[in-house]
Structure 1
Amino acid sequence: MAQADATVTVEGNIITLENYLGNGVQWDPYQVDYGEVELEISKTDWDKLYSRLDFMKPQVVRVMVNTTSSITNDTLNPYKKFKDLKPILDYCQSRSVTVTFGDWGGGMVDSEANTINEKNLKHAAKYLEFLVNTKNYNCIKYYNLINEPNGFWSSTDGNYNLWKNATQFFYNELEDLDLAHKVKIMAPDIAIWKTDKIDWVTKSADDLEDAVGLYDIHTYPSKATVNSGRYENIIRSYREAAPRDVPMIMGEIGFKFVEPEDSIYQKENIRRAKAKPYASIEDSQMFVYDYSYGIDMADALFQTVNAGYAGCVVWMLDDAMHSKESPDKLKVWGFWNILGEEYFGDSEEEVRPWYYAWSLLSKYMPQGSKILKVETAGDPAIKAIALKYKGAYTIAIINISGENKKLDLMPLNYEGKSLFKKFVYANGHLNKVGGHSLKPNDEINLVFSSENQLDVSAESLTVLTTIK
């Protein structure tokens, strides 16, 4: 055999995380009103969305609303905006997808007066009761009150005590409505770039105790931070600050080119956004059109897995959900724009490359998986994760370099079948079926407890799996 660039050893009997919650997407009710035009998502488009998601098989979906949009004259009307939410929750309910539901936070607190709005918090709890008990959406397992409360852009303006008081009041309402045993709090939902906000996690654990059923943070790391591996050390410190017996996920993740090393990417990002008539210049990730974004997202996911996180939710499913500077300036971050053919341009409705990378990492990392210990030696451009699910296995490998590599893969202490489906995500390597599905590129027999040499393409994600 030729000299390998790296060696990946997977310990089939050493489990680092017992119960993986899964990967998924942010899927919010659509904006629909885009300034000069108000659109409607047709049944054809809903069917298209469902079909694409059925291939991806997201395990976790984060859904956020503004409860105040369903309040008129201090009275909650849960049906007011329900038609916009119903198709999303119907999908999650019918496919047994875990939903983290929540309120963005507008109207829940007054940061200037340093007070909580008890009336609106009661309405938010009643709205959740309507969804869970009246509409029977038992897919809703967690509730996220106030998005990114540590930020100056949040309704709490970074005030921890204000957020804590609102969350405690809201949870007490859930207990009064006999909902607390059905829906747990997801917290603290902070946005972080460094290790300077860990106290939000430790204080949440101390103050909210058993109310929290799922911890989470949001990260928008720079490409250089992730590709160098520095990202894993940053996020590990937050995972270690949370109780070990409560799972923690990455509640939102995407890339922003904030580090000086990535200035060339940021300049290109702005250039591309300016060239798109409907793209927000302030809040778009224009590399979603490139294969490289799928590799970077896989790199970030691998590091969350290795840092002990139980799942990862990407920002975001669809450009048509949110705008920024004005109603017609969309946050371009999605796998597509489902209203492309109707208004934003036919090509925008097509699936973008990174959808395939994230689909492989959602579909073949199912909820309930056991994460296995993986050791990688040699070229740092090669990274890997592995898991076991009901006697089947997935091994995922990335090569973040621009050169083809040779890899020695050694699966130790494996059980079951040795014939693995092999999917390759890389420019020119996708084995597409129709408009949004993939077939395996190959099937390979892995020799257990021995070296298996693989060729790994430049800038590629390879997924080997026996999961059906």
Structure 2
Amino acid sequence: MNNRVKFCVLLVLISFFGCNTTPENIVKIYSDQIISSNFIGNGVQWSAYPHADSENAEWGNLMTAEKWDMNFKRLDFMKPKLFRVMDQANWRYLVGFDKEDNPILSFDNPEVKAVEKILDYAQQNNISVLFGEWGTPYKVHDKKEGFSDKFTGANDPKWINCIVEYLDYLIIEKGYTCIKYYNLINEPNGDWASTKGDFNEWKEGVVLLSKAIKEKGLDTFITVAGPDAVHRYNNPNSTYSGIGWIEQSAKQLTEEIGIYEVHDYAKPSMVKSGEFQVFNEKAAKIPKALNKQIIFGEIGLGKSNATNQERAKNDPFASKDSQMMVYDYSYGIYMADAAIQIMNAGYSGAAAWALDDAMHTLDDIGNKNELKRWGMWNSLGTEICNNPEDENIRPWFYSWSLLCRYFPTGSSIIKTDETKIAGIRLTAATYKDDITVALINNSDIPNKITLDLSTSKTLRKYVYTAQDRKTDKNNFPVPVATNIICKDFLNIELPANSFLLLTTIKY
């Protein structure tokens, strides 16, 4: 037995996979073939708890320092690279109108301070922020009455001026240069949006906003993101299809939009089959032709199936806008699979909806029995649901946190061979002299592949299965093997319905 074979046998005994002189099902990783460079990174949607952010909120100031610290500690492990932070002017800084109906703005109040907690964390941890507002003030559901006609729409210069004054305060006065992108309207192609799917209204608003940002001298810090469309949804009352909003943004707003951004809530079957990637590759080609990046501002699984709706009805604190699978191990598999496909489709990052159940209620009117259950936990499980266990980390944190942590900003997503085995997919990234590979087996059958991989650094291996997801006392992922060495081939066993991550990155 030669030294090389002895070496490989030793690795098999130590880490259960290793070099192989006669590999089968070889999957090659091409570090010189780049799908996308300057990857922004994965992250989460995190809102500033409009029902619990101050003594004036519906629930009072339930988000105490201890609650915020719980979130910070968990995010410290996750190391997200992207936050989507959405709000409403009239929840934070738009406090009224003068006799001439000019907006009165206030940036020194508890509500703005709550937003600054998120921005402080992002600034300190080099997290890119996609900032924005749900819709035109008083055109979406509002906590204040009697102001429905104060703004004409997304293209009202008065609202645009409010936004730019707020950005000037946050970026210039407070120094939040982490705010990189601005999202004018949430899902403007939807019939639920303040624009009701009116492309021209939204377009005019984007033109005004882009111009105002430049005039204020903020364009060196921030650019407009768009269209923020649910690009799989076709609004019959909109001029364009969902993907048409991306196409028309590219044609009509070439100068104004600096980064493209979309939402998707696919059926689990679409993710499992790989249709998800096929569809999203079509969308990604549009900004790519302009040499611009595209990201997901929201990503999750669709909630409309009967089983999910029944589970939501049986939860006394869940609204109909809830994804009850967040309590299930399987959600971590689907979300990891979606992320792998997103990266392979050429996207520069994705923000998962959502971090925390405590952020929003149905229509955001503050009904405690209508939480939007989509989170990795519920910070107010004790206070709202009388259930401290609801504050615990849910299974899907495991896979999503690793996909944030080990795909750093500035990475290059690189090409890999497609496997010939049903259910197995992978993506890979290089960052300086490090490499990370994420793999999924979404089938009910365990299988094996061999990676054609060469690295001079040792690898760590994380495994997420229903039976085995090793964690520490904080319920944070722990590698099942470390110091794995291989110079050519790496044999990998993929249990049924599993997610694996290999990385040379060490924190």
> What's the TM-score, normalizing by structure 1?
0.92
**1:183 corresponding residue in structure 2:** 222
> What's the TM-score, normalizing by structure 2?
0.85
- Give the whole-Å Cα distance in 1 for the aligned partners of 2:174 and 2:187: 28
Report SS of the residue matched to 2:279.
helix
**2:460 corresponding residue in structure 1:** 421
Is 1:76 the counterpart of 2:98? The answer is: no
Asked if structure 1 preserves the Cα contact closer than 8 Å seen for 2:183 and 2:225, the reply is yes
**Corresponding letter in the other structure for 1:380:** A
Asked if structure 2 preserves the Cα contact closer than 8 Å seen for 1:6 and 1:382, the reply is no
Displacement after TM superposition at 1:33 (Å): 5.0
**Corresponding letter in the other structure for 1:95:** N
Which string of whole-angstrom CA distances, capped at 9 and with x for unpartnered residues, describes residues 292-326 of structure 1? 10110011111111111010110000000000166
Is 1:250 the counterpart of 2:280? The answer is: no
**1:268 corresponding residue in structure 2:** 307
Which string of whole-angstrom CA distances, capped at 9 and with x for unpartnered residues, describes residues 355-394 of structure 1? 1110010000111011111112221211100111110110
Is 1:355 the counterpart of 2:397? The answer is: yes
**2:263 corresponding residue in structure 1:** 218
Report SS of the residue matched to 1:254.
strand
Asked if structure 2 preserves the Cα contact closer than 8 Å seen for 1:29 and 1:85, the reply is yes
- Give the whole-Å Cα distance in 1 for the aligned partners of 2:484 and 2:31: 16
- Give the whole-Å Cα distance in 2 for the aligned partners of 1:203 and 1:5: 46
Report SS of the residue matched to 1:78.
coil
Is 1:336 the counterpart of 2:377? The answer is: yes
Equivalent residue for 1:310, pick from 327, 348, 373: 348
**2:323 corresponding residue in structure 1:** 285
Displacement after TM superposition at 1:100 (Å): 0.7
- Give the whole-Å Cα distance in 2 for the aligned partners of 1:333 and 1:3: 45
Report SS of the residue matched to 1:434.
coil
Rg larger in structure = 2
- Give the whole-Å Cα distance in 2 for the aligned partners of 1:447 and 1:416: 8
- Give the whole-Å Cα distance in 2 for the aligned partners of 1:175 and 1:17: 28
CA separation of 1:50/1:257 partners in 2, compared to 1, >3 Å: closer, same or farther? closer
CA separation of 1:6/1:157 partners in 2, compared to 1, >3 Å: closer, same or farther? farther
Aligned length: 456
Report SS of the residue matched to 1:220.
strand
Report SS of the residue matched to 1:377.
coil
Asked if structure 2 preserves the Cα contact closer than 8 Å seen for 1:96 and 1:139, the reply is yes
- Give the whole-Å Cα distance in 2 for the aligned partners of 1:431 and 1:226: 25
Is 1:13 the counterpart of 2:51? The answer is: no
Q: How do residues 50-129 of structure 1 correspond to structure 2 at under 5 angstroms?
A: 50-69=72-91, 70-71=93-94, 72-73=96-97, 74-80=103-109, 81-107=111-137, 116-129=155-168
RMSD: 2.3
After TM superposition, the structure 1 stretch with the greater mean CA deviation from structure 2, 34-43 or 356-365, is: 34-43
Is 1:403 the counterpart of 2:445? The answer is: yes
Gaps of 5+ in 2: 1-19, 98-102, 140-148, 235-240
Asked if structure 2 preserves the Cα contact closer than 8 Å seen for 1:108 and 1:166, the reply is no
Which string of whole-angstrom CA distances, capped at 9 and with x for unpartnered residues, describes residues 135-167 of structure 1? 110100110100100010011110111100011
**2:497 corresponding residue in structure 1:** 459
Asked if structure 1 preserves the Cα contact closer than 8 Å seen for 2:80 and 2:404, the reply is yes
- Give the whole-Å Cα distance in 2 for the aligned partners of 1:123 and 1:5: 61
After TM superposition, the structure 1 stretch with the greater mean CA deviation from structure 2, 427-436 or 211-220, is: 427-436
**Corresponding letter in the other structure for 1:342:** E
Displacement after TM superposition at 1:2 (Å): 12
**1:30 corresponding residue in structure 2:** 49
Gaps of 5+ in 1: 259-265
Displacement after TM superposition at 1:115 (Å): 7.4
**Corresponding letter in the other structure for 1:124:** I
CA separation of 1:13/1:457 partners in 2, compared to 1, >3 Å: closer, same or farther? same
Is 1:378 the counterpart of 2:407? The answer is: no
After TM superposition, the structure 1 stretch with the greater mean CA deviation from structure 2, 427-436 or 56-65, is: 427-436
* Structure showing the higher strand proportion among its residues: 1
After TM superposition, the structure 1 stretch with the greater mean CA deviation from structure 2, 454-463 or 53-62, is: 454-463
- Give the whole-Å Cα distance in 1 for the aligned partners of 2:21 and 2:498: 20
Equivalent residue for 1:134, pick from 162, 173, 176: 173
